[in-house]
């Protein structure tokens, strides 16, 4: 299902203008597609991120010698205040990010199935394809190989390349675009967390929201002008793009 933007769009026969999201065939022909990883490329229903959250809780419990309930509260606090649990642990407690990332990404990927239909739709997109994740390159590569889509992506921009500044901080978006030579106008960003699309839209990218049932996936303000398209099923959305 494709949810169209409510603002007027330029004709696909004209070059994209700053501030105007791509539409029609121009969307399919975007020069670069930047995809989030977790709960975006794979369905949130496989609950892979639940494992990550459990591992975060275990790490916090061990680090601070607290029970599971207290660890969950700390994790929630760090996420809400700093954007990611890791950022909160680093800023407030000087936690080693490598140790944290290695621990929380040591998860069972058997719940992730290959997605040949998604791979087919990625093949149809003529533009460059990148991953931008608050996780690590190693985590992204493991998942992409399980999905069977790794060969469609030329690079992964991860939390380490972001200097541990998480989305939706705008600075790492600029770093990502510069590092990979991406002009934001004419590029697309795909994300399951609506708030992470705001910086992308501000920089001139066209945005696609992949909503999930999780509370953090939903917009955190009434202003949703930074969401240009909504794609409850990413594979179906890409399949429905005009040729």
Q: pLDDT tens-digit profile of 81-117?
A: 998 899 999 999 999 999 999 999 999 999 999 999 9
Question: Is 12 inside any structural domain?
Answer: no
CA–CA separation, 136 vs 134, rounded Å? 7
Domain extent, residue 60, equals 48-104
Question: Is 52 inside any structural domain?
Answer: yes
Give the pLDDT score at 25: 85
Q: Quick one: pLDDT band at residue 176, thresholds 50, 70, 90?
A: very high
Q: Are 146 and 109 in contact (CB under 8 A)?
A: yes
Q: pLDDT tens-digit profile of 11-42?
A: 233 344 455 789 988 898 999 999 999 999 99
Question: Is 7 inside any structural domain?
Answer: no
Asked whether residue 90 falls in the same domain as residue 162, the answer is no
Give the pLDDT score at 228: 96
pTM across the whole model: 0.89
Give the pLDDT score at 19: 57
Question: Of 206, 203, 183, 186, whose CA–CA distance to 16 is shortest?
Answer: 186
CATH number at residue 99: 1.10.150
Asked whether residue 180 falls in the same domain as residue 140, the answer is yes
Asked whether residue 130 falls in the same domain as residue 194, the answer is yes
Asked whether residue 30 falls in the same domain as residue 135, the answer is yes
Question: Is 78 inside any structural domain?
Answer: yes
Give the pLDDT score at 1: 39
pLDDT tops 90 at residue 69: yes
Asked whether residue 139 falls in the same domain as residue 54, the answer is no
Question: Is 19 inside any structural domain?
Answer: no
Total of domains in the chain:
2
Give the pLDDT score at 242: 85
Asked whether residue 31 falls in the same domain as residue 61, the answer is no
Q: pLDDT tens-digit profile of 163-175?
A: 999 999 999 999 9
CATH number at residue 32: 3.40.50.1000
- Overall average pLDDT of the 39-68 stretch: 95
Asked whether residue 93 falls in the same domain as residue 135, the answer is no
Asked whether residue 57 falls in the same domain as residue 152, the answer is no
Q: Return mean pLDDT, the chain.
A: 91
Asked whether residue 99 falls in the same domain as residue 153, the answer is no
Give the pLDDT score at 17: 47
Asked whether residue 36 falls in the same domain as residue 52, the answer is no
Give the pLDDT score at 220: 87
Interior angle at CA 41, CA 118 and CA 164, nearest 5: 150
Mark which of 70, 87, 104 sits at the end of a domain. 104
């Amino acid at each position: 299902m494709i949810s169209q933007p409510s603002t007027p769009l330029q004709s696909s026969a004209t070059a994209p203008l700053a501030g105007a999201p791509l539409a029609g065939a121009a969307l399919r022909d975007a020069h670069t597609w930047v995809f989030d990883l977790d709960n975006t490329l794979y369905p949130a229903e496989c609950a892979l991120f639940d494992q990550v959250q459990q591992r975060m809780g275990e790490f916090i419990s061990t680090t601070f010698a607290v029970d599971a309930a207290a660890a969950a509260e700390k994790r929630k606090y760090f996420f809400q205040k700093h954007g990611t649990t890791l950022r909160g642990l680093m800023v407030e407690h000087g936690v080693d990010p490598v140790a944290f990332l290695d621990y929380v990404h040591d998860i069972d990927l058997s719940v992730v199935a290959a997605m040949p239909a998604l791979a087919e739709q990625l093949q149809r997109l003529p533009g460059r394809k990148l991953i931008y994740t608050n996780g690590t390159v190693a985590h992204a590569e493991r998942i992409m190989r399980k999905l069977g889509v790794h060969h469609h992506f030329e690079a992964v921009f991860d939390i380490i390349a972001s200097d541990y500044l998480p989305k939706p901080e705008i600075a790492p978006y600029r770093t990502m675009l510069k590092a990979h030579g991406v002009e934001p106008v004419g590029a697309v960003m795909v994300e399951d967390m609506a708030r992470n699309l705001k910086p992308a839209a501000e920089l001139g990218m066209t945005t696609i929201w992949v909503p999930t049932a999780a509370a953090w996936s939903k917009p955190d303000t009434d202003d949703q002008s930074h969401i240009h398209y909504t794609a409850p099923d990413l594979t179906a959305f890409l399949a429905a793009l005009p040729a």
